[in-house]
């Protein structure tokens, strides 16, 4: 017995929502993984790299909170519970997080958040091709 047209539309709707959730969740994960890619801090002999999070004592990378969950990998837990229409909030709470991101009069910003957030459309396109 074949499905009714209405049943077929409901199947398409479920598949579309599932695919949208996949693309969104994976693209958000890609942004977060890129933002959390460490580079050795210059005070520990590392070189300056924009788009990567500097790690000298690990305070900054470990200060990530994702929807109230703390820790460097907290974003994976937050994204796992994500659904279309939800808002996810990520923040680095170390006192020096903003100066490291945007820079000061004494140092250039690393832009580990903004550079990777701008890549979101690229990550969406990549994940959309997978489905």
Global pTM reads 0.87
Q: What is the pLDDT of residue 12?
A: 76
- Whether the CB-CB separation of 61 and 55 falls below 8 Å is answered with yes
Distant-in-sequence, close-in-space partners of 76: CB < 8 Å, separation ≥ 6: 29
Token pair, residue 17, equals 């929502």
Residue 112: name the closest of 55, 17, 35, 29 by CA: 35
Q: Is the pLDDT of residue 7 over 70?
A: yes
pLDDT (0 to 100) of residue 91 = 97
- What is the residue-wise DSSP string for 71-91? STTHHHHHHHT--TT----EE
| pLDDT tens sequence across 47-101 | 889 999 999 889 999 999 999 899 989 999 999 999 999 999 999 999 999 999 9
Average pLDDT, the chain: 92
Q: What is the pLDDT of residue 1?
A: 61
């Amino acid at each position: 017995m074949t499905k009714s047209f209405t049943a077929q539309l409901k199947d398409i709707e479920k598949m579309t929502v599932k695919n949208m959730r996949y693309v969104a969740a994976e693209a958000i994960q890609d942004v977060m993984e890129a933002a959390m890619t460490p580079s050795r801090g210059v005070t520990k002999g590392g070189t300056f790299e924009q788009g990567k999070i500097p790690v000298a004592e690990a305070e900054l990378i470990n200060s990530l909170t994702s929807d109230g969950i703390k820790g460097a990998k907290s974003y994976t837990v937050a994204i796992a519970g994500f659904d279309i229409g939800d808002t996810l909030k990520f923040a680095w709470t170390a006192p020096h997080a903003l100066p490291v991101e945007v820079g000061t009069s004494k140092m250039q910003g690393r832009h580990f958040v903004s550079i990777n957030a701008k890549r979101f459309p690229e990550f969406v396109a990549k994940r959309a091709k997978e489905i």
